[in-house]
Each structure stands twice: as C-alpha cells, then as structure tokens.
C-alpha cells in the first residue's frame, strides 16, 4: 500500500510539472510572465503563479490516481 501511495505522489507531481510547462509552451509565453515580483528572495519562487498552476494539475491527477489505484488517501 505504501508503494502505491508513493507512486501516486510521484506521478501526480511529475505530471503536474510537465502539464504546467506544456501550458506555458502552448500559449507561447515565458516563465517570466508568471513570476510575482514581491522582493522576498526565495519566497518569490514559492509564491509564483506557475507553482499554483502546477499544483492544480497535480491535484487533479492525484485525485484520479488515488481512485484508480485504490490507495484510500481520500476519505469515502
């Protein structure tokens, strides 16, 4: 069961990042357009619109992988 849960997390994160980059490429923009300039140093990387884009894709994939692989991380 633990191995299936690790697979769900790894695949959802990888697909989320790949889908985020694919979305940026599909619209013909750059990563700089998604940047937030808050002058907080490393926090500018974490508080980034691209991060939230990848997080949304990863969460969608995570929900479906949880269902199909029957890992029961989400309550019924």
What contacts 24+ positions apart, CB below 8 Å, involve 7-14?
7/65, 7/69, 8/62, 8/65, 8/66, 8/69, 8/71, 8/73, 9/62, 11/61, 11/65, 12/58, 12/59, 12/61, 12/62, 12/65, 13/58
Asked whether the predicted pLDDT for residue 75 surpasses 70, the reply is: yes
17-66: pLDDT as tens digits: 999 999 989 998 887 777 777 777 777 766 788 888 999 999 999 999 99
Q: What does DSSP assign to residue 28?
A: T
Give the per-residue pLDDT at 40: 74
Query: What is the band of 5 on the pLDDT scale with cuts at 50, 70, 90?
Result: very high
Stronger pLDDT, 4 or 46, i.e. the higher one: 4
| Contacts for 17 with CB less than 8 Å, ≥ 6 apart | 54, 58
pTM across the whole model: 0.81
The pLDDT, as a whole number, for residue 43 is: 72
């Amino acid at each position: 069961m633990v191995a299936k849960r690790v697979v769900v997390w790894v695949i959802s994160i990888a697909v989320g990042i790949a889908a985020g980059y694919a979305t940026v490429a599909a619209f013909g923009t750059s990563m700089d357009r998604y940047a937030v300039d808050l002058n907080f140093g490393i926090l500018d990387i974490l508080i980034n619109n691209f991060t939230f884009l990848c997080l949304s894709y990863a969460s969608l994939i995570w929900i479906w992988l949880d269902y199909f692989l029957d890992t029961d991380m989400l309550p019924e």
